[in-house]
Structure 1
Amino acid sequence: MSTTAAPPPVVDQAPQQDERVGRHARLASVLRRPEVGALVAAVVIFLYFSFTTKAFALPAGASTWIFFSSSFAIMSVAVALLMIGGEFDLSAGAMTGTTGLITGIMMSHYHVNVWVSIVVSLVAALAIGFLNGLLVMKTGLPSFIVTLGTFFVLRGVNLAVVKQIIHQVSVVDFQSAPGYNAGAQLFGSKMQIDLGFLPWVKIPNTGILTIYSATWWAIGVIVVATWVLQRTRPGNWIFAVGGAQQSARQVGVPVFRTKVGLFMTTAFAGWMVGMLKLFKTTTAQSTTGVGEEFIYIICAVVGGCLLTGGYGSAVGAFLGALIYGMVYQGIVYHNWDSDWQYAFLGVMLLAAVMVNNWIKARAERVR
């Protein structure tokens, strides 16, 4: 008689969890996000001004810092992409004034159709961005030096050439240009939302939230830039050329095309902000944008971009611009001296650099 051995008893074993998806790994992944520090700072600043001023959190008050932050967010995101790619553009501020002046002079002095004027200024901006990128890549000079030279050229042209053409340094009275209303609708329109039903809106005439077209443009720029960085091959190229340019070239990354494209992207953003300012204020000044290039860089750094390149995010740059916009208007609502904003910019820059370095070091230790 044959016997069959009984199968060994089945012992239930708890599934082993991969240590790579444990609590420490999740914490490290959060800390490695470039925008973490900026998000915390934005929440703190919003709460501070909301509780210490009467108008900041009201819809009418929020309208001002939302608009102010939007135009800075557009440029800060473009500058952040360039910084992730390992370069700087100090002509970004003057570019906004140059494109506005070109469009305004063509409409007011030469009575050119608004769309032709807009396209001409766009082509001029892209040409300048291409030239910046070409000089940086072909000469090997630091982008800081090349674009600083471009900044002074644009600033001189904005003053001297404009005075030569229209005998003054500001452009006005272009509302009669053919097609002006269509251009104003695209770049200078606004919508109003009545939020007077909110329980904290107790002051009359403060319940209207005004959203300008700059905000919608800013949202579009942030979404597109985030998608490019996170979901596309050019986004990988941007991180690669900023982190290790020589290694990126050796593995087939088109370094020249990527960096020139980033300079042209920054110029495109300068054109966009120039149009938004032009049609919002219905004037263009020769000094428009001068000095703002450093604010764009600060917003990008506050948002998590490293000055060494290869690290950062579009969302972080947006949060950096939001922080600056909230503080700028919060100072006004507090009736403080407006010159304090410059002291805040310096503190914000130093704090952001230290926080970014701490977050990266902490993430590496946790990992």
Structure 2
Amino acid sequence: MSGTSQQAATVDERIKQRSRFREALIRPELGGIVGTIIVFAMFLLFASDSGMFTSQGVLNWSQVSAQFMIIAVGACLLMIAGEFDLSVGSMIGFAGMMIAIFSVTLNWPVWMAILITFVLCIAIGAINGFIVIKTGLPSFIVTLASLFILRGFTIYLPQTIERKTIIGGVKDAAEGDWLAPIFGGKIMTGVFQWLGDAGIIETFERGTRQGQPVVDGIPMLIVWAIGLVIFGHILLTKTKFGNWIFASGGDAEAARNSGVPVSSVKIKMFMFTAFCACIFATCQVMEFGSAGADRGLLKEFEAIIAVVIGGALLTGGYGSVLGAALGALIFGVVQQGLFFAGVESSLFRVFLGLILLFAVVLNTYIRRMITGER
């Protein structure tokens, strides 16, 4: 091979390497990956001896992360489609309260209460999307109105019917129900019992539960979170509908001219966001056995923060479900990690603000560096 050919081959190889590096830098998950590494390194250093990484500790922050993940998946797809839903938190409280009223107050079967609540919430999501599309109003305003409407009904209905804002007895009503375990049960209990018997995980040393594993299974909340993340990732990256989501959020008018059903896509994303909020609410009600009017407060903002940390743009057309899942994982680890590290829990909100600012600055800087923008 001549010297010129060797030089050309070397240049080509450098171009390929630079291209791969550039592609890695513009991945929307970059901020979430960096944040996850920093958070885990920090708590491995300062809280490793506090029980945070025992089986019970891992379960604690995994469950909290799973809560954020469930609503972050819906928020992520909707934001990529170019819209917001500020009613997610109120939807969580409303859905939980409706399940409790239907099953406890009205004595409906729990499976029927759950299914009717899902239909109701998805219908409200469709109405939000329809109003946004038909009126041209910003989704921020429309869903802000829904936030107050749903929260108002969540407080008014139990006060009017039961003269209180917390309705209990859901666990008793769900006894023997066929659908309730899908949201409030556990899987792999036999595996965890075997791990406990083998001494691999901690077991209770005394009392009525002596010999039983401290962690006796994986809660369905975590299963739902993982399932939704996988579904959302495949939908977004492997299907034509996923391309439509990106196109709808990137340039809606150009997408319409290309044959993309932008209105239908956005309405379906509002419906999916409501579906995710209802899953969260159902799992929460089954776990606690009650519904409270204050459930879901500020969850809409936490979902948006998780999505932004995961690399999504507030302007739409860019983002990643995996990145949003990493943002949710950061939330769960930090919220529980501060407790294990003995740090004042109110500082969690301070951290959220700092990590949000860091993620936005990092994503903006890298994007400008790659595109050459100023």
TM-score, normalisation: structure 2: 0.89
What are the residue-to-residue correspondences of 1:172-187 with 2, within 5 Å? 172-177=168-173, 180-187=176-183
CA contact (8 A) 1:188 1:213 kept: yes
The alignment yields a C-alpha RMSD, in angstroms, of 2.6
Gaps of 5+ in 2: 206-210
Letter in 2 for 1:313: S
Which residue of structure 2 lines up, in the alignment, with residue 6 of structure 1? Answer: none
Of 356, 364, 368, the residue aligned with 1:357 is 364
The amino acid of 2:26's aligned partner reads: R
Secondary structure at the aligned position of 1:89 is classed as coil
Matches within 5 A, 1:302-341: 302-341=309-348
CA contact (8 A) 1:28 1:364 kept: no
Structure-2 separation of matches of 1:206 and 1:248: 57
* In structure 1, C-alpha distance between the alignment counterparts of 2:55 and 2:170, rounded to whole Å: 32
SS where residue 182 of structure 1 aligns? coil
User: 1:288-324: CA deviations, max 9, x gaps?
Assistant: 1021110000000001111111110000000000001
Residue by residue, what CA displacement relative to the aligned partner does 1:94-115 show, whole Å, maximum 9, x if unpaired? 1111111111111101110111
Aligned-partner residue type, residue 141 of structure 1: L
Instruction: Provide the C-alpha distance between the structure 1 equivalents of 2:339 and 2:117, rounded to a whole number of angstroms.
Output: 34
Q: How far apart are the structure 2 equivalents of 1:20 and 1:305?
A: 30
Residue identity in the other structure for 1:166: E
Q: Deviations over 1:271-299 (max 9, x none)?
A: 11011101011111011102111000000
Computing the radius of gyration from Cα coordinates, the structure with the larger value is 1
Provide the residue aligned with 2:236 in structure 1: 229
| Aligned AA (1:140) | G
Q: Over residues 173-232 of structure 1, what are the superposed CA-to-partner deviations in whole Å (9 max), with x where a residue is unaligned?
A: 133436654333211123553378569x8x989984452111111111011101111111
The one of 41, 45, 60 equivalent to 1:64 is 60
Aligned position for 1:134: 130
Query: Hey, what's the Cα distance between the residues in 2 that align with 1:282 and 1:177?
Result: 9
- Runs of 5+ consecutive residues of structure 1 not aligned to the other structure: 1-9
Q: Show the counterpart of 1:73.
A: 69
Which residue number in structure 2 is paired with residue 5 of structure 1?
Answer: none
Relative to structure 1, the CA distance from residue 197 to residue 188 in structure 2 (aligned partners, 3 Å threshold; closer, same or farther) is same
Matches within 5 A, 1:243-322: 243-322=250-329
Q: Number of residues paired by the alignment?
A: 356
The alpha carbon displacement at 1:171 in A equals: 1.2
Q: The residue matched to 2:171 in structure 1 has which SS?
A: coil
Report the Cα offset of residue 60 of structure 1. 1.3
Q: Distance in 2 between matches of 1:83 and 1:93?
A: 16
Partner in structure 1 of residue 208 of structure 2: none
The aligned counterpart of 2:86 is 90
Q: Does 1:44 align with 2:33?
A: no
Q: Is the 8 A contact 1:59 1:207 kept in 2?
A: no
Say if 1:61 and 1:206, in contact at 8 Å, map to a contact too.
Answer: no
Residues 198/173 of structure 1: CA separation in 2 closer, same or farther (3 Å cut): closer
How far 1:364 sits from its partner (Å)?
2.9
> Distance in 2 between the 1:295 and 1:243 partners?
23
The letter for the 1-side match of 2:219 is: Y
Deviation at 1:51, TM superposition (A): 2.4
More helix by share: 2
| Structure 1 residues 206 and 34: CA distance shift in structure 2, 3 A | farther
Show the 5 A alignment for 1:208-219: 208-209=214-215, 210-219=217-226
Matches within 5 A, 1:150-189: 150-177=146-173, 180-189=176-185
- Tell me the amino acid that sits aligned with residue 241 of structure 1: S
Q: Decide whether the 8 Å contact of 2:92 with 2:280 is kept in 1.
A: yes
Show the 5 A alignment for 1:5-16. Answer: 16=9
1:71-124: CA deviation from partner (whole Å, max 9, x where unpaired): 110100110111101110000111111111111111101110111111110011
Take 2:368 and 2:174, find their aligned partners in 1: how far apart are those partners? 57
8 Å contact 1:91–1:147 — kept in the other structure?
yes
Could you tell me how far 1:19 is from its partner in structure 2?
A: 6.2
Shift of 1:29: 1.1
**CA spacing shift, 1:161–1:326, aligned 2, 3 Å:** same
